Amino acid sequence: FESCWRKSLAMFASQLPVLQEDIVSTGGIFALVGPTGVGKTTTIAKLAARYALEHGTEGIALVTTDNYRIGAQEQLRTYGRILGTPVKVANNAEELRNILKGLYDKDLVLIDTAGMSQRDVKLTEQFSMLSEGSILIKSYLVISASSQQQVLDETVHAYKKAFLDGCIITKLDETLSLGGALATILQHKLPISYTSNGQRVPEDLHRASAIELVKSAVKMMNRVRIEMDENVVELAYGGIAANDVS
């Protein structure tokens, strides 16, 4: 049984699509897209900090197109000041195009976008903004591991219209199960680039590893099972004690 279980896990890991491209090493222009609250801005800060540690701050710039969330631009500016990295604000497609042209000499440009629900009618505008012009922008979907599978499925389905190049899974430290996220990734064949399991910049950002993700999923599953078994014992003991008293 143990051998079959290990083979099954290895087979599952081999089917998980993992992106070999490392944003920090290869460089380019990358936009992080996704719903509100999944950690896009913090993930950009982690990527920027990692680049700065490896290559210095001269070759990187940050851009935000988020005009909806209060404080979103200031949050990115704060990260920019800490890292010594320029932060630009684009309010529309034309401004974004001009900003990116002005950043032609940067090795890495990271674009923070407004968080939008998968049902937001303004999603199409965001997609158009990122795809206009001759400048290649690679889009990465940021998803939270703590979201329900149905929500994740709807999110990926909606954002696929942005011609996604990959995804980043965040909040691994806040979920009890990775099953929903991994099942969604498999279903949509969306390659994983990075995972994040905390707020520390940049320590809690990791290159995606199929084996490590499967190991984490199994650990979570075992932990939940143990907790459930303990709860059953407590309930059973409580019932026995109550009967003894009565």
In a domain, 9, yes or no: no
In a domain, 8, yes or no: no
**Structurally, how many domains does the chain consist of?**
2
In a domain, 6, yes or no: no
| CA dist., res. 159 & res. 127, Å (int) | 8
pLDDT of residue 151: 95
Q: 191 with 234, same domain?
A: no
Q: Prior bond to 191 cis, omega within 30? A: no
pLDDT of residue 2: 63
In a domain, 3, yes or no: no
Q: 220 with 168, same domain?
A: no
In the 8-state DSSP scheme, what is residue 18? B
User: How many C-beta atoms lie closer than 10 Å to residue 64's C-beta?
Assistant: 26
In a domain, 86, yes or no: yes
Please tell me the total number of residues recorded for the chain in this structure: 246
Q: 176 with 192, same domain?
A: yes
In a domain, 7, yes or no: no
pLDDT of residue 245: 47
In a domain, 5, yes or no: no
Q: 110 with 231, same domain?
A: no
Which CATH number characterizes residue 159's domain? 3.40.50.300
Q: 40 with 92, same domain?
A: yes
pLDDT of residue 65: 93
Range of the domain at 104: 15-208
Q: Prior bond to 202 cis, omega within 30? A: yes
Q: 124 with 85, same domain?
A: yes
Q: 236 with 201, same domain?
A: no
Q: 141 with 89, same domain?
A: yes
In a domain, 4, yes or no: no
| CA dist., res. 12 & res. 67, Å (int) | 40
CA distances (Å), origin 126, targets 110, 117, 170, 235: 16, 12, 22, 51
Q: 106 with 70, same domain?
A: yes
Q: 225 with 169, same domain?
A: no
Residue pLDDT tens, the chain, 246 long: 567 767 777 888 889 999 988 999 999 999 999 999 999 999 999 999 999 999 999 999 999 998 877 677 899 999 999 999 999 999 999 999 999 999 999 999 999 998 887 777 778 888 888 987 778 999 999 999 999 999 999 999 999 988 899 999 999 999 988 989 999 999 999 999 999 999 999 999 999 999 999 989 988 888 766 544 444 335 444 444 444 544
Q: 113 with 174, same domain?
A: yes
Q: 155 with 124, same domain?
A: yes
Among 184, 192, 180, 171, which residue's Cα sits nearest to residue 217? 180
